[in-house]
Amino acid sequence: MTDVMTKPVVNLDDVPLRDHGHGDAFAAKIGSFGDMIGSTGIGCMLHVVEPGKKAFPYHVHHTIEELFVILEGEGTYRFGGETYPVKANDVLAAPAGGPEVAHQIINTGSQPLKYLGISSNVDTEVIEYPDSGKFAVISRSDWSNLQAGGIRYIGRPDSSLDYWDGEE
């Protein structure tokens, strides 16, 4: 158990939310609460996404398994090459893998879309972003604060170095 935990129960109304997004397309309020209740092997995040917005780019994790539970609102789930309408009480799978399981939730409704993201916790991860052709490598990182230590690299495959580069 973490020393941050005060009790193994939290009400979602009490989860602190922070603004998260970029530009006009990505905007959400998100709050991670797994640590608050002592969860060390499973991550839990509350997302509140306004109409017409997305919380994250279309992506796929190589290691992390995710699932989402829609609490309120409606939207569209991009999964692989398909799209699926989603609404309150729907549960969405997002297994680890390649582009065939890339995913993104979009609020296509007229009210805020509120959902839980539940995932395995890992120390090292590779994430691909099929829409932009980039990838991220993250290791030994604090997922609630990606600027705090560890390794974090975002790039494109065409900028890769040769294995022997700099090894003279």
Query: What is d(CA 23, CA 4) in angstroms, rounded to the nearest whole number?
Result: 33
Kindly state the tokens that stand for 9: 């129960």
Question: Which distant-in-sequence residues (6+ apart) come within 8 Å of 33 by Cβ?
Answer: 10, 15, 44, 45, 46
Q: What is the pTM of this model?
A: 0.90
- As averages over each run of 10 residues, the pLDDT of the chain (168 residues) reads 70 97 97 91 95 98 97 98 98 98 98 97 94 93 64 91 90
Query: What is d(CA 49, CA 53) in angstroms, rounded to the nearest whole number?
Result: 6
In the prediction, which pLDDT does 6 show? 73
In the prediction, which pLDDT does 88 show? 98
Query: What is d(CA 2, CA 91) in angstroms, rounded to the nearest whole number?
Result: 28
Identify which of 55, 28, 33 has the alpha carbon closest to the alpha carbon of residue 44.
33
Domain ranges of the chain: 12-122
Q: Is the domain covering 12-122 a CATH 2.40.50.100 domain?
A: no
In the prediction, which pLDDT does 163 show? 86
Full strand arrangement of the beta sheet holding 151-155: 60-61, 124-129, 134-139, 151-155
